[in-house]
Structure 1
Amino acid sequence: MSAFHALTLTGLDGKPLPLSDLAGQVVLVVNVASRCGLTPQYAALQRLHEQYRESGFSVLGVPCNQFAGQEPGSETEIGDFCRLNYGVSFPMTAKLDVNGPQRHPLYQLLAGEGAEYPGDISWNFEKFLIGPDGGVLGRFSPPTAPDDPALVQAIERALGL
């Protein structure tokens, strides 16, 4: 089992969210926030999730309040906001730290020392593309829209489409 799939996170609902459930799928991990200029990316993330989920793809939203306090709400408030405003149905974790001394092991794996694409997360909506084997295939900057041709092409390539 890959290091990615060995992790178990906590979902927005407070229940365990084992990443082993995503083994064999292509996953786009995105640190998200509800009060960010990039928040409208939720709509395109949901469209990606719906378009490719039957092919073995999932978005994984990771709320983070480390960037200008743009995700201040509780997990319940975050979930309600995402469902009501953007129809989000993809899995989401409880809030995590993506940088600093309390960086969650997920982000240590994705961006820490020795990672395929190391370096601090620059802002909300930074994206990591994870292959079916749990390996990191790419890192995309926050302004990269979920429907950006380069990102879509990387997803389709990973899915073998």
Structure 2
Amino acid sequence: MHLAVVLTFAVASAAAAASSPKKRSTTDPTQVAGKTFDFVIAGGGTAGLALASRLAEWSNVTVAVIEAGSDGSEFQDQITIPGACSLLLGKYRFLWCPGMSYLNGLTGTTYDWQYQTTPQTNASGGQLSWPRGKGLGGSSAINGGFWCRGSSAEYDI
């Protein structure tokens, strides 16, 4: 199976005269071929981009981030809610709002490595999808943004 990987280079280079780094993004590897960088970070996930941002604050260093996926810009206008949205209508009644969420919108696409677990003995040999982000933001870009509030027993100490 041939796996075509598009390299996205998010290159941040700080100019000595500027107080903030100059940022560039390219999908053409020839634009960075032969260039040297003080730091090269493999992976544009949450940690990789945070590290690159902090390193690029130094005015005398150059930083390159190499990411196997894309930046997800073609989905930016379609995804407006994290996971799902709900409105509390009554004591235990919720209305689920339709919409494309990160979780439902990007898993199983080119932004997901599409891993499967090995067959699980205690689950009748079943396998599960294990979504992992492939693109800027990493798995945070496809995580659904869910949260839940703890029970009152956790707050009433």
Q: Same fold (TM over 0.5)?
A: no
TM-score (norm 2): 0.25
Higher relative strand content: 2
TM-score (norm 1): 0.24
Pair member with larger Rg: 2
